[in-house]
């Protein structure tokens, strides 16, 4: 979340910044690989992720959301959409906990509501796909 917040604030998605941030964070090799996958995944799919977040945010535009909430939502939405090895409830619960810790008093419920909507939509899509197969 710290890296995405920095990238978002600086409006800089360069590989050099990502590498520099990972050096500052002093990540273990396994964590480093996951970090790069997660951050690059969010960056590469940001347009789709932001659109989905806005769809479930009750008329809140992504640029009007607090930076902490926005980037927590981006990471968790990416995990829900693309990381099949992470249980959806884990992604949602971790995002809510991080929002409560670093966001505002309302961040936890705000994040939970949006991610639950995204999760429910994914369940519905998966059911429809299974029926058509």
CATH number at residue 112: 1.10.940.10
Digit-coded pLDDT (tens) for 23-72: 888 888 888 889 889 999 999 999 999 999 999 998 889 999 999 999 99
Number of folded domains in the chain?
Answer: 1
Mapping DSSP onto H, E and C, the string for the chain reads CHHHHHHHHHCCCCHHHHHHHHHHHCCCHHHHHHHHHHHHHHHHCHHHHHHHHHHCCCCCCHHHCCHHHHHHHHHHHHHHHHCCCCCHHHHHHHHHHHHHHHCCCCHHHHHHHHHHHHHHHHHHHHHHHHHHC
Checking if the pLDDT of 133 tops 90, the result is: no
Domain that holds residue 117: 2-132
- What's the pTM value of the predicted model, to 2 decimals? 0.89
């Amino acid at each position: 979340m710290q890296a995405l917040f920095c990238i978002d604030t600086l409006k800089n998605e360069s590989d050099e910044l990502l590498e520099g941030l990972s050096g500052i964070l002093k990540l273990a090799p396994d964590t480093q690989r996951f970090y790069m996958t997660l951050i690059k995944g969010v960056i590469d799919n940001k347009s789709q992720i932001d659109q989905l977040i806005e769809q479930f945010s009750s008329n809140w535009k992504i640029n009007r959301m607090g930076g902490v909430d926005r980037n927590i939502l981006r990471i968790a939405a990416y995990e829900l959409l693309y990381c099949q090895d992470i249980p959806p409830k884990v992604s949602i619960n971790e995002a809510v906990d991080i929002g409560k810790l670093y966001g505002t008093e309302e961040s936890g419920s705000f994040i939970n509501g949006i991610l639950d909507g995204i999760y429910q939509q994914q369940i519905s899509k998966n059911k429809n796909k299974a029926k058509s197969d």
